[in-house]
């Protein structure tokens, strides 16, 4: 069935689609279950889904997807997290936390983390639901198109999104399942009222929304994102969430912005591993602090709410 230069069905990646989503759709378009597709199309002895395929796809897999779908290798690679290499983080590594990338935390091919975020309205409006690579970015906490908060789990059962497992164990299911359903409970990931994003500061959300749109377009015809400024934002997020690096900073920012104070868990985890609601709240404060840079940061330092040696660690070139 899958012999020949091109597979019988060879869908191209949809705008901004991630590799894992594209592979699952390709399997279903060819009338195969995901596991069967992996065995036929690639090496039967090679388990594809026991890793973060969007991060750790081997070159041979990317070449096979390119050749068998008629998509250039360059465009194929844009479906992986390597799209953000040199932009959001320095370089891809085999393990460890990547800056700004939400982890899946795979355990026996099950996601223990909530790294695959999604916009329920984006999923619902597509006749062929798919997932975007930009949705793996930790500061992508709201949809710039629909202005609603993102989701990172099933609203019905609370399980992480894992669309490659949707038809696993369902031996009598012949039709290709909708990728917008939960793999665990089978209910829709879009059948609920989404949460609108609160736009309390126009400049902050305008800049934030613009950067999310840049990610959505894969950096095509959208200008450049200033990597060092994003590194500074990341550092601020880490400091705001810390109860030891700047214990008074969160309260100071809430008073300055009239934002209601929200408890931040004191668990010591990377910013990317925090809950979506915590990340969104912390980001709102951090985006406000770097607006009109460096005036607000200088003021926070003068008020002894922020220590420069913590802020500019690893990014000394931004020190004023």
Distance CA 248, CA 258 (A): 15
Distance CA 162, CA 140 (A): 19
* pLDDT value for 4: 67
pTM for this entry: 0.93
Residue 258 predicted with pLDDT over 90: yes
Between the alpha carbon of residue 32 and those of residues 1, 39, 44, 124, the distances in Å are: 10, 10, 15, 23
pLDDT tens for residues 26-51? 999 999 989 889 888 887 666 788 88
pLDDT at 11 over 80: yes
Distance, in Å, from the CA atom of 11 to the CA atom of 128, rounded to the nearest integer, reads 11
Percent of the chain with pLDDT over 70: 92
Phi, psi of 22 (to 5 degrees): -60, -40
**Rounded to an integer, what distance in angstroms lies between the CA atom of residue 236 and that of residue 75?**
34
């Amino acid at each position: 069935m899958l012999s020949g230069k091109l597979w019988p069905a060879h869908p191209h990646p949809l705008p901004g689609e991630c590799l894992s989503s594209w592979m699952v759709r390709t399997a279903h378009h060819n009338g195969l279950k995901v596991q069967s597709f992996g065995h036929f199309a690639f090496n039967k002895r090679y388990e594809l889904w026991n890793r973060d395929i969007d991060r750790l796809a081997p070159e041979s897999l990317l070449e096979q997807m390119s050749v068998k779908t008629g998509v250039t290798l360059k465009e194929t690679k844009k479906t992986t997290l390597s799209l953000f290499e040199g932009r959001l983080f320095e370089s891809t590594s085999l393990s460890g936390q990547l800056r700004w990338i939400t982890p899946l935390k795979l355990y026996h091919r099950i996601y223990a983390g909530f790294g695959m975020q999604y916009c329920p309205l984006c999923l619902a409006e597509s006749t062929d639901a798919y997932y975007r690579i930009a949705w793996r970015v930790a500061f992508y906490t709201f949809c710039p198109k629909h202005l609603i908060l993102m989701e990172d789990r099933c609203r019905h059962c609370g399980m992480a999104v894992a669309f490659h497992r949707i038809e696993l164990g369902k031996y009598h299911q012949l039709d290709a399942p909708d990728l917008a359903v939960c793999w665990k409970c089978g209910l829709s990931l879009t059948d609920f009222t989404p949460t609108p994003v609160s736009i309390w500061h126009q400049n902050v959300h305008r800049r934030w929304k613009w950067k999310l749109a840049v990610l959505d377009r894969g950096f095509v015809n959208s200008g450049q994102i200033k990597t060092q400024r994003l590194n500074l934002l990341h550092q601020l997020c880490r400091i705001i969430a810390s109860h030891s690096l700047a214990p008074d900073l969160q309260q100071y920012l809430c008073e300055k912005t009239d934002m209601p104070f929200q408890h931040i868990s004191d668990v010591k985890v990377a910013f990317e591993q925090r809950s979506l609601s915590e990340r969104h709240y912390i980001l709102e404060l951090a985006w406000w602090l770097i607006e009109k840079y460096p005036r607000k940061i200088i003021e926070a330092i003068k008020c002894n709410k922020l220590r420069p040696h913590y802020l500019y660690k690893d990014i000394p070139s931004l020190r004023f």
